[in-house]
Amino acid sequence: MKEIWTMGETICEIMRPEVDMPLERTGEFTGPFPSGAPAIFADTVAKMGYVSGMIGRVGDDEFGVCIRKRLEEDRVNCSLLSTDPILSTGVAFVSYDRNGERKFIFHMGNSAAGNLSVPKELPENVGIFHIMGCSLTSSKKMAESILQTMKALYEEGAMITFDPNVRIEILKETDLMSSVLPILEYTTVFMPGLHELLTIFETDSPDEAIDQVFQYPNIKVLVLKQGKKGAQIITRETHLDVPICKVRAKDPTGAGDSFDAAFLCGYLSGLPLKTCARQASAAAALNTAAFGPMEGIITPGRVTDLIRQNYEAQ
């Protein structure tokens, strides 16, 4: 079977253990937790039983060991996860307010993660190359490296999939449109949140934004993620609404990345779009059921059981 690869930041998260503990206040933290949107994605792909690869960079330090150990234990191909001999592993500090909204402080652009280069040898047998927008805004070098790698893998026949995954804390002075639009030219499956979609296309109208998406001839599927409202799966011919799977959620960090991973595993296998979306919703729910971005127990069996409980029993 073809493989699913991604490229971008591999970082550790240091998290507040309780809600309403602002980052400016002295208090306890817990971690480190292996993280980074592309790393969470790659980890979930591997947990779903597919061949997964991660192109990234960590420091020669304990946080780098933490990340590499987790990914390798979960059977992610880390042959292109390099180690920077000088720069430290990237870090994100995370807190939650009473409504569950997250606040991040990233140390990434000036870390090993931001010093990511095009690999000397590209992976072979790549079916999907997945790009996360947060990686495009972390550092100029990372963005340019991802773009070059994408073009090379596209020429080799890889399908390009894209989640803009905008992090305001990282975006700062970066021009969002200049980062996103070059990727859309190559994208087959586009996976934004509603707010991201409207921001990218500078409109308040979802219908207008959707029309603009399908002006890009390569795009076949728009996966519109809407949090607690579920997801819409839109093609030029069809429109499906898929509600979320319900679990007792502990931590939303990484849910969208796990959603992407499980959806694309199904898509690569040729499953119906509704099945892909249900699988994605189940994986995302299982991710939220544990504290920490990669700590959810996601397996094909648990995903199948949750789909049965939430959809087939209805």
What is the distance between the alpha carbons of residues 167 and 257, in angstroms, rounded to a whole number? 13
Q: Is 65 exposed, middle or buried (0-12, 13-18, 19+ CB in 10 A)?
A: middle
Q: Contact at 8 Å (CB) between 244 and 228?
A: yes
For each of the domains in the chain, give its residue range(s) and CATH number, in order of start: 3-312 (3.40.1190.20)
Q: What is the pTM of this model?
A: 0.94
Looking up tokens 């430290």 gives 88
For residue 113, the 8-state DSSP code is: G
Q: Which two tokens stand for residue 178?
A: 């200049």
Dihedral pair phi/psi, residue 67, rounded to 5°: -70, -50
β pairing state of 102-107 and 90-96: antiparallel
Q: Contact at 8 Å (CB) between 257 and 294?
A: no
Per-residue pLDDT of the chain (314 residues; tens, 9 = 90+): 899 999 999 999 999 998 889 999 999 999 999 999 999 999 999 999 999 999 999 999 999 999 999 999 999 999 999 999 999 999 999 998 887 788 889 888 889 999 999 999 999 999 999 999 888 887 888 989 999 999 999 999 999 999 998 654 444 445 556 677 889 999 999 999 998 898 888 899 999 999 999 999 999 999 999 888 899 999 999 999 999 888 888 888 889 999 999 999 999 999 999 999 999 999 999 999 999 999 999 999 999 999 999 987 55
Q: What is the pLDDT of residue 265?
A: 98
Q: Contact at 8 Å (CB) between 258 and 38?
A: no
CA angle 287, 45, 49 (to 5 degrees): 105
| Contacts with 166 (C-beta within 8 Å, 6 or more apart), sequence order | 133, 134, 137, 176, 196, 199
Q: Contact at 8 Å (CB) between 9 and 113?
A: yes
Q: What is the pLDDT of residue 172?
A: 47
Q: Which two tokens stand for residue 31?
A: 């971690």
Q: Is the dihedral of CA 57, 59, 60, 62 positive or negative?
A: negative
pLDDT tens for 231-246 read: 999 999 999 999 988 8
- Half-sphere exposure for 273 (CA within 13 Å, toward CB): 17
pLDDT tens for 111-129 read: 999 999 999 999 999 999 9
Q: Is the dihedral of CA 184, 287, 65, 101 positive or negative?
A: positive
Q: What is the pLDDT of residue 171?
A: 46
Looking up tokens 């799966």 gives 233
Q: What is the pLDDT of residue 177?
A: 62
- Which string of DSSP letters, residue by residue, matches 279-311? HHHHHHHHHHTSSSTT-S---HHHHHHHHIIII
Radius of gyration of the chain (CA): 18
